[in-house]
Structure 1
Amino acid sequence: MDKTSFERDSESAYGSEVSSNATFKLQKDRFQIEESTTKKEIWYEWIRNRLRHYMILELLFSICLVLILWKQYHISSQNDKTIELISSIQSEFRNFKLDIESNRASKPTDFNENTGNKKLEELVEEVMKDIKNPSIERNQKSKEYPKQVIPNEVNSSPNNSVFLINAASLILGATVDSSRSSNSDNNPFFGRDQSGYVLIDRSNPPSDKAWCSNEENPILTIDLAKYIRPISVSYQHSKWSGIVPDGAPSRYDVLACLDYYCNNLEPLATNCEYKATSDNKKEQFCSIPFNKNHSSIGKIQFHFRQNHGNVMKTCAHSIRVYGETKEVPKVKERTLKQAETCSELTYDYHHKSWTYNMLDYKNCTILYSNDCCTECPECCDECLIQDTNWSTIGNSCLILISILLALFVGLIIYCAVQEAIEDANEMIRLKNELK
């Protein structure tokens, strides 16, 4: 009986142990399910809290708003260019109509339909070129270019189809290639490039508007406005009397770039000299010998070998490159729009200095091409090659906002990652404690 009772107790204990193991296993599985569900809820709650805590949705909305404003500004600028193009087309058609009427009045028998169609085709071709080349300034044709005065030293070509121009004129489109020129004070690492002062064709260059370099034997590279056959070059320093100021070039060479990068150079004129004369002549010329291979030169380098006073800094005030070309910009009468532009700039300069200095478009190209120097000589004396206007301020603000947003997003991501790491470590610690 004792044996039977012992067996029953053993079976009962074994059954209890099995039941206990089953219950523990069931509870463990249930805990794992609850733990898995709880983990998902924790991550969901954490993501939701992070989104609300760091206002990520508001941040994304702000970024989209900035992008929309930038796109609207871009579309607005394109609309302005389109309006200018349409105005230019209308002006060309009006001029074309006047030409037809004048031709009919003067030569009624010679004018025929074919002539009118030919002129119309030429006009349409010019307009299509403007449309296909949006990078070219739309109102280039309506600008009034200053007449290039060709001195007596430059011989006129007997061929009537060839014109003499100063191809190194900023107004005609010449630029300084700063990447292939010596380091200049006018092209700082932080700031805007003002190297184009040397290309402004003016009778009395101001002393504080020049291309200056501290390098020994500096090089100035110029992209000419037109491909020309160079005839002569000239240099003019700011106003002086008796003695040429220190730093002015005294000897220089002129070389033609045979390729865009100026890896292949060919001398045009050597040992050109700028010196004091008895008549204090400011603009002095250096002739370029005729060479049939120089029929199409578009880029020129000036190598300054020596300056007056043998000082460290060499400053060039006004450089001109005279040459023959078959294409010359048309000199047109001053338009009403140009007169209005000059009047507005003159008024702002004298009465709204903040508006003039910060918002108006008043770079040297605009002032000289619109012939504003007679009405506002101070504007031309103080003009910059690249000025500050509402467009540059708007671009600067957009860049600043973009940088701040990028930093803010980076900070949010960093904080979120750090908190995620801390929460993950905390969950691992709790899980280990439960085990």
Structure 2
Amino acid sequence: MDKTSIGRDSESAYGSEVSSNATFKLLKDRFQIEESTTKKEIWYEWIRNRLRYYMILELLFSICLVLILWKQYHISSQNDKTLELISSIQSEFRNFKLDIESDRASKPTDTMNMDEGNKKLEEFVEEVMKDMKNPSIERNQKEYPKKVIPTQDNSSPNNSVFQINAASLILGATVDSSRSSSSDNNPLIGRDQSGYVLIDRSDPPSDKAWCSNEENPILTIDLAKYIRPISVSYQHSKWSGMVPDGAPSRYDVLACLDYYCNNLEPLVSNCEYKATRDNEQEQFCSIPFNKNHSSIGKIQFHFRQNHGNVIKTCAHLIRVYGETKEVPKVKERTLKQAETCSELTYDYHQKPWTYNIFDFKNCKVLHSNDCCTECPECCDECLIEDTNSETVFICFLYILLSPVIIFLLLILTALIIECFLCIRKTSAEV
């Protein structure tokens, strides 16, 4: 064998070795691509199987359906209130138009009455525009009680000053529990019933009061209207001869100059509630005149001492009298209010289950519709925040969704853990 043949054999062997290496590399790359594709398909199948196994898509669809139905319920309720408001505005406008026409017919040459009628019409239009901007607010919440005491007798209603109890729950006053002392009526878990102290009634019941175990407790009230306060009064549940233990005996009244009551200004100090010969139930405390107190919207009662020097102080009824230039609306009882009271009275006596669970029968509804004469038991047992169809629906929705949400969270946690373990196992194999 010569050198030439030996060289050719070595070149052939080297070429075959290079070719085999290239083929092996191509096969390796192809295997890696197929392995990567196979892993993606496995992950896709695994995720799809998990979704179908746990019925996650069905659960999500059910949640969306329940939320849509809930939203539809609220929209329907809002539409009913809007239609009711529009109907009421149209009725008032027709009555007002008839009054203007009758005034013009009786005194066609009286220009003063014409100007007064135009002013009233402008005020009415402004009021309608405000109501249209806030259609969700019920009109009976804006009305003043029938007892209105004008303190000045002027011919023009714009110059008249009216005296009202601005701490009335019916007019819209509320207890600011976040800036008041802790109370038995506002538990950590439960509904806030602190508004009992603002229900304006002639004889407050003994078991409906704002009570606190703190020393020198503070009660903060958001008034229904901005007023110039002229006096405050306190009335305990009915007593004779001796004021019951726990009733406030001395207290101070301060005005909040800001919403958070960081700046306070004393209105009157050392007010006293004591036993009298004639057993006076409501006792007043006059507020000295101050031109800077022309617009007060929030006040605080600081109770310094109670009768009997006991731990718990209980306030049954507080009134804050003040002057306002806004003309109160004095209206007779409407047919709808009478129907509401009749339905509540019937349900209370004949359908107690419906009354206790589904009817709207909080204290504000009963007192603002004058239902206490027809159903005194309803007013005696009323709550500030009651159980009704809306609260039942919310509770049902919460009970329905809570297990679903917990189940989804558990599934999500399990998927994350399993995914993490699979990734860790794959990394270890590589």
Does the Cα contact within 8 Å between 1:215 and 1:312 map onto a contact in 2? yes
Equivalent in the alignment of 2:157: none
Partner amino acid, structure 2, of 1:296: S
Equivalent in the alignment of 2:49: 49
Q: After the TM superposition, which of the residue ranges 397-406 and 233-242 deviates more from structure 2?
A: 397-406
Does the Cα contact within 8 Å between 2:251 and 2:305 map onto a contact in 1? yes
- Asked whether 1:157 is paired with 2:163, we answer no
* CA shift for structure 1 position 22: 4.6
Give the whole-Å Cα distance in 1 for the aligned partners of 2:349 and 2:415. 55
* CA shift for structure 1 position 388: 1.2
Give the whole-Å Cα distance in 1 for the aligned partners of 2:253 and 2:238. 24
Give the whole-Å Cα distance in 2 for the aligned partners of 1:262 and 1:135. 29
Partner amino acid, structure 1, of 2:248: P
* CA shift for structure 1 position 428: 4.4
Equivalent in the alignment of 2:128: 127
Partner amino acid, structure 2, of 1:290: F
* CA shift for structure 1 position 425: 3.9
The superposition leaves residues 38-74 of structure 1 with CA deviations (integer Å, 9 ceiling, x where unpaired) of: 1122122112212212222212212321231232122
TM-score by length of 1: 0.88
Does the Cα contact within 8 Å between 1:169 and 1:201 map onto a contact in 2? yes
Structure 1: tracts of 5 or more residues without a match: 151-155
* CA shift for structure 1 position 286: 1.4
Q: After the TM superposition, which of the residue ranges 131-140 and 216-225 deviates more from structure 2?
A: 131-140
Partner amino acid, structure 2, of 1:262: C
Partner amino acid, structure 1, of 2:61: F
Does the Cα contact within 8 Å between 1:249 and 1:308 map onto a contact in 2? yes
* CA shift for structure 1 position 102: 4.2
SS of equivalent to 2:71: helix
Give the whole-Å Cα distance in 2 for the aligned partners of 1:147 and 1:357. 31
Partner amino acid, structure 2, of 1:27: L
Q: How does 1:22-421 map to 2 (within 5 A)?
A: 22-100=22-100, 102-103=102-103, 106-107=106-107, 110=110, 119-134=120-135, 136-141=137-142, 145-147=145-147, 157-160=151-154, 161-421=160-420
Give the whole-Å Cα distance in 1 for the aligned partners of 2:315 and 2:130. 36
SS of equivalent to 2:36: helix
Give the whole-Å Cα distance in 2 for the aligned partners of 1:166 and 1:407. 49
Q: Cα RMSD between the aligned structures? A: 2.8
Give the whole-Å Cα distance in 2 for the aligned partners of 1:118 and 1:204. 41
Partner amino acid, structure 2, of 1:129: K
Equivalent in the alignment of 1:153: none
Give the whole-Å Cα distance in 1 for the aligned partners of 2:11 and 2:101. 126
The superposition leaves residues 104-135 of structure 1 with CA deviations (integer Å, 9 ceiling, x where unpaired) of: 56446549987766544433221110122346
The superposition leaves residues 371-393 of structure 1 with CA deviations (integer Å, 9 ceiling, x where unpaired) of: 00000001111111111111122
Partner amino acid, structure 1, of 2:280: K
The superposition leaves residues 265-320 of structure 1 with CA deviations (integer Å, 9 ceiling, x where unpaired) of: 22222211111112111111112222232222222211111001100000000111
* CA shift for structure 1 position 17: 5.2
TM-score by length of 2: 0.89
Does the Cα contact within 8 Å between 1:236 and 1:317 map onto a contact in 2? yes
The superposition leaves residues 413-432 of structure 1 with CA deviations (integer Å, 9 ceiling, x where unpaired) of: 21112222233344445x55
Give the whole-Å Cα distance in 2 for the aligned partners of 1:63 and 1:240. 56
The superposition leaves residues 73-111 of structure 1 with CA deviations (integer Å, 9 ceiling, x where unpaired) of: 221122122122112212212322442454356446549
Partner amino acid, structure 1, of 2:65: L
Partner amino acid, structure 2, of 1:157: T
Does the Cα contact within 8 Å between 1:84 and 1:138 map onto a contact in 2? no
Partner amino acid, structure 1, of 2:147: K
SS of equivalent to 1:203: coil
* CA shift for structure 1 position 343: 0.2
SS of equivalent to 1:319: strand
Residues 89 and 164 (structure 1 numbering): CA distance in 2 closer, same or farther, change over 3 Å? Answer: same
May I ask how many residue pairs the two structures share in their alignment? Answer: 424
Residues 98 and 106 (structure 1 numbering): CA distance in 2 closer, same or farther, change over 3 Å? Answer: same
Q: After the TM superposition, which of the residue ranges 13-22 and 175-184 deviates more from structure 2?
A: 13-22
Structure 2: tracts of 5 or more residues without a match: 155-159
* CA shift for structure 1 position 264: 2.2
* CA shift for structure 1 position 236: 0.7
Residues 328 and 120 (structure 1 numbering): CA distance in 2 closer, same or farther, change over 3 Å? Answer: closer
Give the whole-Å Cα distance in 1 for the aligned partners of 2:349 and 2:106. 47
* CA shift for structure 1 position 179: 1.6
SS of equivalent to 2:372: coil
Residues 101 and 328 (structure 1 numbering): CA distance in 2 closer, same or farther, change over 3 Å? Answer: closer
Give the whole-Å Cα distance in 2 for the aligned partners of 1:140 and 1:87. 17
Does the Cα contact within 8 Å between 1:85 and 1:139 map onto a contact in 2? no
